């Protein structure tokens, strides 16, 4: 048996992990419950699982142990809790909605609303009668160590879906227990949990096989929505708690979008765009509901980038030009450690405006911002040509989806709601400058915040709205971009930054 001594931080004791000769180091750390980022799913391309082995840097996913070793983890493992800036606004809007809604009632007790994302999970514990947030938290989905996107998670679940299911159930259950303790509420005081998540995350939560989501024709084989017993998902500590799971619209337009429709249905004729790991779009016009999804990749969430990170302290979140020089702001005004999605969008807009990026996406090597095919922001925080290409692919995918949806609907919506953490902090001017959004939407774009969580909150106040969500799931018509006759041409067109 081989001993792996794992060193983390100065104030934590070393851990000993036992392994067999030839075992993969990343797998050993995962199995021991030691989190380590592996955005690429462990195929050696993202570089985020870099550790130090006996003083020598190495990728954990490419290392196979053959002797006793000492492993030092990176200072930033990507595990720090995420801070969701929009959650304080959530209940203000919801209280206003309840004031105009007479059928929500004012029953005693509390409920929990959960936004189950591929990258981030947000949880709010809410006093039903008072309409107050008792406690809330936002944190990285622990499955990130198996890859940043849903395809990586699907691939892992093909071999063993129980591993990912157990991981997410335990983390949500522990977080709920912690919030109840923080709020001074016993477990018996929690009577309802409402969960909204994308289709893959919902399947994994329920322990359903994901094969139908990962292979053509990409049609979900099982329903993932409705009413469940919380104890079956999160343990006996929730024996008196019911659980509602918001239904999906399609394989890649999940319950998070359905929940968003519940949160925003008072808006009338509108389009919801959630630019997370998977770009999801839903267009509500009259009695018509069109939806589509596009493989945007996780670039908008700061993933798969050389110095990409989530929206935590030290992430470059805003970039602008001042007298021809790049200026930036970080979250919490901390020292720059990386760059998150909103910072990437701003940076690309600035590089295009300054002429440092050409219309075809290639860096202008003659520009003073560019050195060795990368742009330096601060210290070791850089943005490379490869990062620009990641953004370019994501931008073109979303823009193509938007244009095709408009063509299918035969109209441009009166309002566009940008959902999710990235949408909340996105600068519309940067979106227009990069071509992420068409000029026809200028003046119509609004940041809507976490509409998935907001919809779960509305359902928590009025559980009859789950029937409304199920109605949306049945009435929606999915536009399959991969099979659409115009998608390939559209994608190539919007790869450019002058269209």
Dist. CA 335–CA 321, nearest whole Å: 19
What is the domain partition of the chain in residue ranges? 2-72, 87-264
What's the Cα-to-Cα distance from 433 to each of 184, 236, 301, 345, 442, rounded to whole Å?
Answer: 48, 52, 19, 9, 11
Q: What own/partner pairs with CB < 8 Å and gap ≥ 24 does 399-402 have?
A: 399/435, 399/436, 399/437, 399/438, 399/490, 399/494, 400/294, 400/481, 400/487, 400/490, 400/491, 400/493, 400/494, 401/279, 401/281, 401/292, 401/293, 401/294, 401/481, 402/271, 402/273, 402/281, 402/437, 402/438
Residue 82 DSSP code: P
E strands within 323-429? 325-330, 338-339, 370-371, 374-378, 381-384, 415-419
Length of the chain: 499
Dist. CA 29–CA 16, nearest whole Å: 10
54: phi > 0 → left, psi -120 to 50 → alpha, else beta; which? left
Q: Which stretches within 265-384 are classed as H helix? A: 341-354
Q: For residue 84, what pLDDT is reported?
A: 38
Q: What own/partner pairs with CB < 8 Å and gap ≥ 24 does 119-122 have?
A: 119/144, 119/148, 119/276, 119/277, 119/298, 119/301, 119/303, 119/310, 120/82, 120/84, 120/301, 120/310, 120/421, 121/171, 121/172, 121/175, 122/82, 122/84, 122/87, 122/450, 122/453
Dist. CA 189–CA 184, nearest whole Å: 10
Dist. CA 70–CA 14, nearest whole Å: 10
| Residue 4 neighbours by CB distance under 10 Å | 22
Which residue has 């009025």 as its token pair? Answer: 462
Residue 314 DSSP code: T
Which residue has 């591993």 as its token pair? Answer: 163
Dist. CA 153–CA 142, nearest whole Å: 11
Query: Hey, what CATH topology would domain 2-72 get?
Result: Ubiquitin-like (UB roll) (3.10.20)
Identify the bridge partners of residue 125 per DSSP, sorted by sequence position. Answer: 112, 135
E strands within 128-262? 132-140, 190-197, 226-229, 242-245
34 Cβ contact list (under 8 Å, min separation 6): 6, 15, 17, 73
Q: For residue 10, what pLDDT is reported?
A: 55
Q: For residue 73, what pLDDT is reported?
A: 87
What tens-digit pLDDT sequence spans the chain (499 residues)? Answer: 999 999 866 556 788 999 999 999 998 998 888 878 787 778 887 778 889 999 898 999 899 999 999 999 876 544 444 443 434 444 444 443 454 454 444 466 899 999 998 888 999 999 998 888 999 998 888 888 888 778 888 988 886 778 899 999 999 999 999 999 999 887 778 999 999 999 999 999 999 999 999 888 888 999 999 999 999 999 999 998 999 999 999 998 999 999 999 998 866 689 999 876 678 999 998 778 999 998 766 677 666 788 988 777 899 999 999 999 999 999 989 999 999 889 999 999 999 999 999 999 999 999 999 999 999 998 899 999 999 999 999 999 999 999 999 999 988 999 999 987 677 778 999 999 999 999 999 999 988 888 999 999 999 999 999 999 999 999 999 998 888 999 999 999 999 999 8
Question: What does the longest C-alpha to C-alpha distance in the chain come to?
Answer: 68
Q: For residue 166, what pLDDT is reported?
A: 94
Choosing among 3.30.420.480, 1.10.10.60, 1.20.1440.230, 3.30.70.1140, the CATH entry for 87-264 is 3.30.420.480
Cα angle value 467/471/473 (rounded, 5°): 115
Dist. CA 278–CA 273, nearest whole Å: 10
Q: pTM of the entire structure?
A: 0.83
Query: Which two three-digit tokens encode residue 170?
Result: 């335990």
**Is the distance from CB of 243 to CB of 202 less than 8 angstroms?**
no
Dist. CA 310–CA 119, nearest whole Å: 9
């Amino acid at each position: 048996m081989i001993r792996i001594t794992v060193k983390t931080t100065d104030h934590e004791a070393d851990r000993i992990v036992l392994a067999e000769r030839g075992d993969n180091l990343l797998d050993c750390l995962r199995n021991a419950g030691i989190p380590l980022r592996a955005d690429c799913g462990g195929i050696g391309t993202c570089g985020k699982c870099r550790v130090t082995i006996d003083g020598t840097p190495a990728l954990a996913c490419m290392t196979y142990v053959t002797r006793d070793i000492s492993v030092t983890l990176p200072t930033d493992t990507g595990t720090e809790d995420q801070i969701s800036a929009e959650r304080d606004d959530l209940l203000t809007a919801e209280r206003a909605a309840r004031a105009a809604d007479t059928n929500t009632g004012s029953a005693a007790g509390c409920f929990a609303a959960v936004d189950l994302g591929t990258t981030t999970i947000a949880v709010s514990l809410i006093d039903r009668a008072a309409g107050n947030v008792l406690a809330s938290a936002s944190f990285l989905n622990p499955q990130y160590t198996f890859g940043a996107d849903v395809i990586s998670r699907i691939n892992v679940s093909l071999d063993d879906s129980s591993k990912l299911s157990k991981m997410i159930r335990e983390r949500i259950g522990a977080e709920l227990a912690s919030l109840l303790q923080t709020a001074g509420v016993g477990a018996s005081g929690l009577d309802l949990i409402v969960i909204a998540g994308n289709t893959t995350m919902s399947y994994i939560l329920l322990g359903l096989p994901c094969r139908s989501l990962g292979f053509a024709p990409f049609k979900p084989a099982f329903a993932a929505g409705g009413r469940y017993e919380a104890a079956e998902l999160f343990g006996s500590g929730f024996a008196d708690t019911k659980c509602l799971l918001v239904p999906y619209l399609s394989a890649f337009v999940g319950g998070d979008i359905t929940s968003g429709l519940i949160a925003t249905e008072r808006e009338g004729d509108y389009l919801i765009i959630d630019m997370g790991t998977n770009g999801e779009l839903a267009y509500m016009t009259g009695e018509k509901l069109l939806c589509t999804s596009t493989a945007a990749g996780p670039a908008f969430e700061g993933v798969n980038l050389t110095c990409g990170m989530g929206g935590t302290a030290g992430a470059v979140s805003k970039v602008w030009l001042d007298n021809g020089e790049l200026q930036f702001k970080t979250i919490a005004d901390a020292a720059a450690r990386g760059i998150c999605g909103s910072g990437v969008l701003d940076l690309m807009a600035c590089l295009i405006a300054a002429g440092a990026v050409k219309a075809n996406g290639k860096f202008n090597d003659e520009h003073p911002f560019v050195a060795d095919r990368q742009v330096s922001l601060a210290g070791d925080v850089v943005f490379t040509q490869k990062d620009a290409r990641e953004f370019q692919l994501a931008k073109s995918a979303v823009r193509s989806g938007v244009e095709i949806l408009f063509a299918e609907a035969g109209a441009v919506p009166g309002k566009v709601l940008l959902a999710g953490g990235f949408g909340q902090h996105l600068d519309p001017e940067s979106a227009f400058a990069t071509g992420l959004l068409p000029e026809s939407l200028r003046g119509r774009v609004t940041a809507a915040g976490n509409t998935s969580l907001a919809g779960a909150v509305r359902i928590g106040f009025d559980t009859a709205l789950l029937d409304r969500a199920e109605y949306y799931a049945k009435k929606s018509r999915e536009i399959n971009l991969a099979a659409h006759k115009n998608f390939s041409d559209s994608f190539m067109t919007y790869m450019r930054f002058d269209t």
